Structure 1
Amino acid sequence: MTSKWLFSGAFLFELSSWAALSAQLPVGQAALLYASAHALGSLLLSAGIWLLLPRRYKFPLPWSPLFIFALAFFVPLLGAVGVILAVFPALYLPRKQQEQAWDSMSVPELPFRPQDQRRDLMFSDGGLRDVVRHAPSTEKRLNALFATRRMEGRDSIPILKLALRDPADDVRLLAYSMLDQQESGINQRIETALGQLAAAAEEQRPALHATLARWYWELAYLGLAQGSVLEHVLNQAREHVEQSLAGVSNGESHLLAGRIALQQGLLEQAETHFQQAELAGVSPQKLVPFRAEMAFIQRRYEEIPAQLATLPEPLLQRPPFAELARYWL
């Protein structure tokens, strides 16, 4: 109802402005009457049209109604008529909305396509490290942590530890939760094996000792133990693997004992276990990385290229041997 009164007033003032031009009055008086009536008519017309506009066209104020007023006022005689002819058909006869044939979308966050699940899938942790360290988006850093679930534990642990220093609470809590989940799973297996060992028969004890040695070694190998805890874990692993070898001697247990001794810096014991493992049937190629590491620690650098050269060529092209081969060979 308000708009109708505004339009009626605008119509009357516009008629008055035209009448002032056609009346037999002095030029100055006629111009003043015309400008006054035309201004009031344009003002009422602008107010009426502004009330009918959709909300998205009403703002910002005062520019939206001022634009309509300018169109009506500054075009003599035909300004108001032009505004009416331009606006009213658009208000009451809107164009029919056409069916949209396609929907424009922004590029989704990674990963945005299915990935092949392959057992031999290799990951490069460098890209995920960069995302966790430098990505400005918290969501991208969270996605990087979720991606570590498909990585080997040895590669994922450093990335999760890096995320513990993230400024975002969500990233830190997720990293802590994933680390705690891995550590808790190993500790539960150790507790289960210790409970079985307490009630096991004598012939079952070597196998249980070997199992305990592997799980203790797993805590150290994955980097889940640090400082004095790491020293305790390695001592427990060495103790259990030695008890396992005292009952049943096999190549895999000698290999594990050698790796534990190498980690503890007991190089002579490590070499002895590696020799026993080789005699028990462990492939010499499987021992090459550890013997090369021993040669490096003892500064026998001239032996390293010859040892790495015995590895198969496809293995030297894959991490972690690719970088070693590029440097030493």
Structure 2
Amino acid sequence: MTSKWLFSGAFLFELSSWASLSAQLPVGQAALMYATAHALGSLMLSAGIWLLLPRRYKFPLPWSPLFIFGLAFFVPLLGTVGVILAVFPALYMPRKQQEQAWNSMAVPELPFRPQDQRRDLMFSDGGLQDVVRHAPSTEKRLNALFATRRMAGRDSIPILKLALRDPTDDVRLLAYSMLDQQESQINQRIEAALGQLASVSEEQRPAVHATLARWYWELAYLGLAQGSVLEHILSQAREHVEQSLISAGNGESHLLAGRIALQQDLLEQAEAHFQQAELAGIGSQKLVPFRAELAFLQRRYADIPAQLATLPEQLLQRPPFAELAKYWL
């Protein structure tokens, strides 16, 4: 009811403002009468429309009613008519709400357990690296680090090292503790094997040397050592594997010795160990990746396709051989 009285008053004041323009009055008096009547009419019109507006359009005050008043008052003659033609159809004939074409959903959190996957799919660390590098939420980056516990050490170490540069202390400390835990476990096994080496008989010493070589190699292979420390670890691994080969040579030890020599750029020794490993019963397919790498380092590029071609087709379709096969075959 209030809005109807306001609209009626606004209508009468607007009529009087137009009438003042046609009356035979002095220019100044006519302008004053018009401005006063037009202002009162615009004010009542604004108040009436504001009362009818939905709540979300009424605020913030005073800008919502002031905007309507400005449109009606500062456009002479046609301002009030324009506001009425613009607002009333929208109030009484609103547009029908269209059916939503999609459901808007928030970004899901990382799962606390791995999703069901096909057995022939391999775990990929690319997604976790992107989360650690780009996710704005600290909780998501922490969840990504926890997810690395189900990954192989070789794949998880780069993600943990990336997290060491995170701006948040919690993320950095968690990554450091997880890296330190992996390194500490290997060092404990090395210390235990060194303790055994001093007390075992001569017949058992080659097996202990082989164990030490594998754990030293594990430190280097996982990337837990860098620089001069890496050189020392590789030299220790090479010394122990050579000790294990003196009296009890086997294919696995020759393969490990070849990989260590390959890492130390001792290419001729690596090739000799790979040959000995094959003679000792190591399958040729298991040696293919290392022989292909050896051929690349020796710049025998023509031998690489022949090496990779001996691998099964199914294996060439999976990482890391998929990209190699795409380039070399």
Change (3 A) 1:272 1:234: same
Alignment RMSD, CA only? 2.1
Change (3 A) 1:317 1:284: same
Provide the residue aligned with 2:318 in structure 1. 318
Provide the residue aligned with 2:202 in structure 1. 202
TM-score under structure 2 length normalisation:
0.66
TM-score under structure 1 length normalisation:
0.66
Deviation at 1:274, TM superposition (A): 0.3
SS of 1:301's partner is: coil
Task: Read off the aligned partner of 1:152 and give its amino acid letter.
Answer: A
- What aligned pairs does 1:26-105 form with structure 2 within 5 A after superposition? none
Provide the residue aligned with 1:137 in structure 2. 137
> 5+ residue gaps in structure 2?
1-58, 63-104
SS of 1:258's partner is: helix
Task: Read off the aligned partner of 1:110 and give its amino acid letter.
Answer: L
Distance 2:118 2:206 in 1: 35
Provide the residue aligned with 1:182 in structure 2. 182
Provide the residue aligned with 2:224 in structure 1. 224
Deviation at 1:296, TM superposition (A): 0.8
SS of 2:144's partner is: helix
Q: Is 1:244–2:244 an aligned residue pair?
A: yes
Deviation at 1:237, TM superposition (A): 0.3
Deviation at 1:114, TM superposition (A): 5.7
Change (3 A) 1:117 1:326: closer
User: Identical aligned pairs, as a percentage?
Assistant: 87
Give the length in aligned residue pairs: 229
Distance 2:294 2:319 in 1: 20
Provide the residue aligned with 2:257 in structure 1. 257
Change (3 A) 1:128 1:107: closer
Q: Is 1:306–2:306 an aligned residue pair?
A: yes
Deviation at 1:113, TM superposition (A): 6.7
Distance 1:267 1:114 in 2: 41
Change (3 A) 1:297 1:201: same
Change (3 A) 1:169 1:280: same
Provide the residue aligned with 2:160 in structure 1. 160
Distance 1:244 1:118 in 2: 40
Distance 1:174 1:316 in 2: 36
SS of 2:136's partner is: coil
Deviation at 1:282, TM superposition (A): 0.3
SS of 1:202's partner is: coil
Distance 1:196 1:271 in 2: 32
Deviation at 1:308, TM superposition (A): 0.5
Distance 2:297 2:326 in 1: 19
